[in-house]
Amino acid sequence: MKLPAELNDLTLDYLYNDRSALAQCSLVCKDWVTSARYHLWHTTQVYLTSSKIDSKLHRLIALPHITFHIQHVVITSRSLSGGPRTETDIHLLHRVLSLLSEYPQIRSLTLKNIAFGTNTCSGPGCSALRLPSIRQLILQDVAFEALHDVQWLWCVCPQADRFQLDKVWWRPWVDGGMDWRVAGETPRLSYKELALGHCFSRDSVAKWLLGMSPSLNVQTLRLPLVSVHDSFLVDLLRGIGVSLEHLEIGSLGHVKNSTQYTSFFDFSANTELKSISIGLPMYRDSLTVLSWITTILSQIVSTTVTQITFSILPIHISQNAPGLLAAFDWPTLVSVLERPQFVKLSNIVFRLSGQAEYAKYPHNFTPLGPLLTEMVMGHFDSLRCKGVKVSIA
């Protein structure tokens, strides 16, 4: 009996993370081959060594029925994440990128846990290399010799409109000494997503992006952490302007007086915001956390916000989670959300973030779901009466 293709796909979807089972399924019948290959090769990880590049990327070029399924490529080193890393010759990356130009369906490129040496490539082969199929570039826990290397890599992906930097480091550079024009790249004006995590200098990245165009079209801006050094935020938010629809701001840096962040935010140009996500480090002083939230929400001028998400990090059992939640001034937060600019607000979500870490050590953290239901939800009854849905995710 031959089953519909949809049922075959649905069955094999359950095995998406079991490579051994998928390999066996690909040998069962012809109808299962395509779906099994999709899950086996959709995301491909390659260690940045000459032997792995040859044994994997180079050989796969001769197998178009396989390369057709490869959409996400992760380039990484064998070093333990967060540990000491051996410096990697950046020319190996040039070689990888050159091979990837033969892969027609690649949509995402991730570089992870790599420390690169000096980039001495200056020939036409370096400047002319382009991967137009890539739409997303992720740099995570990567060290470069200079910001110029980050710029060069971004120029290699001219159609990428999702850019993520997290734990990206480079040696100091002097303002005015670096110009995006050295790469000969047409200014990138539109981004679906821009995520700026930990970097050597996020100010430098913002100046680079704004240097290509003082007016950026960014739909989603993610800032996992905001620190006292992020003076670039004002210019970046102004440059993005009305294009910004989704704003995600993580936790605040380790400072005692969160009111100093007031001058960092200027949402006067972001008049088309649809959703806002704010990190709530409830393990910190309740007055600091409240000041942090109200500092952000009070400066919102957009009247199009429909959803606000509060991301709550796990609270250690030694910190008395019930006491921290009880000490927080929830009525003041509700009063801010009842202001005229939030007239279209229809959804408030308390998202329990950091669940991956929590799952590793469940006995070290207090389960927050039941506590939020018991101690927090009731404070939002006035908003519920106005049709606002309040939930825990």
pLDDT of residue 204: 82
As beta bridge partners, residue 248 has 222, 277
Q: Nearest CA to 369 among 353, 356, 384, 383?
A: 353
pLDDT of residue 193: 94
Helices (H), the chain: 5-13, 19-25, 30-41, 50-52, 59-60, 64-67, 90-100, 124-127, 147-156, 202-212, 233-240, 286-297, 321-327, 330-337, 355-360, 368-375, 381-384
Highest mean pLDDT (candidates 43-52, 129-138, 152-161): 129-138
Q: Is the pLDDT of residue 220 over 90?
A: yes
Look at the chain and report how many structural domains it folds into.
Answer: 1
pLDDT of residue 81: 54
User: Alpha-carbon distance 275 to 348, whole Å?
Assistant: 10
Taking residues 150-161, report their average pLDDT.
88
Q: Is the pLDDT of residue 170 over 90?
A: no
pLDDT of residue 124: 53
As beta bridge partners, residue 278 has 249, 310
At residue 15, what is the residue type? L
Taking residues 246-274, report their average pLDDT.
80
pLDDT of residue 78: 72
Instruction: Tell whether 137 is covered by a domain.
Output: no
Instruction: Tell whether 135 is covered by a domain.
Output: no
Give, for 137, the enclosing helix (H) or strand (E). Answer: strand 136-143
Average pLDDT, the chain: 84
Q: Is the pLDDT of residue 274 over 80?
A: yes
Instruction: Tell whether 371 is covered by a domain.
Output: yes
Instruction: Tell whether 385 is covered by a domain.
Output: yes
pLDDT of residue 83: 54
Q: Choose between 140 and 85: higher pLDDT.
A: 140
Tokens describing residue 158 = 């001219």
pLDDT of residue 186: 57
Q: Is the pLDDT of residue 182 over 50?
A: no
Instruction: Tell whether 31 is covered by a domain.
Output: no
pLDDT of residue 172: 65
245 within 8 A of 219, measured Cβ to Cβ: yes
Give the tens place of pLDDT for each residue, 328-370: 999 999 999 999 999 999 999 999 887 676 767 778 888 889 9
Q: Choose between 143 and 305: higher pLDDT.
A: 305
Taking residues 242-248, report their average pLDDT.
96
pLDDT of residue 371: 93
Instruction: Tell whether 337 is covered by a domain.
Output: yes
User: Alpha-carbon distance 77 to 118, whole Å?
Assistant: 17
Highest mean pLDDT (candidates 24-28, 53-57, 260-264, 369-373): 369-373
Burial 318-345 (b: 16+ CB within 10 A, else e): eeebeebbeebebeebeebbeeebbeeb
Domain that holds residue 338: 274-393
Taking residues 199-223, report their average pLDDT.
84
pLDDT of residue 259: 60
Instruction: Tell whether 328 is covered by a domain.
Output: yes
Cα separations in angstroms, 246 against 46, 106, 228: 33, 26, 23
Q: 68-77, 210-219, 366-375: lowest mean pLDDT where? A: 210-219
Tokens describing residue 207 = 């100046």
Q: Is the pLDDT of residue 230 over 70?
A: yes
As beta bridge partners, residue 279 has 311
Q: Is the pLDDT of residue 132 over 80?
A: yes
Instruction: Tell whether 309 is covered by a domain.
Output: yes
Please state the φ and ψ torsions of residue 131, each to the nearest 5 degrees: -120, 80
What does the radius of gyration of the chain's CA atoms come to, in whole angstroms?
24
Taking residues 289-318, report their average pLDDT.
91
Highest mean pLDDT (candidates 16-25, 50-59, 82-91): 50-59
Q: Is the pLDDT of residue 180 over 60?
A: no
Strand order, beta sheet including 108-115: 43-47, 72-76, 108-115, 136-143, 162-169, 190-196, 217-226, 246-252, 275-280, 307-312, 347-352, 389-392
Taking residues 174-199, report their average pLDDT.
65
Percent of the chain whose predicted confidence (pLDDT) is above 90: 35
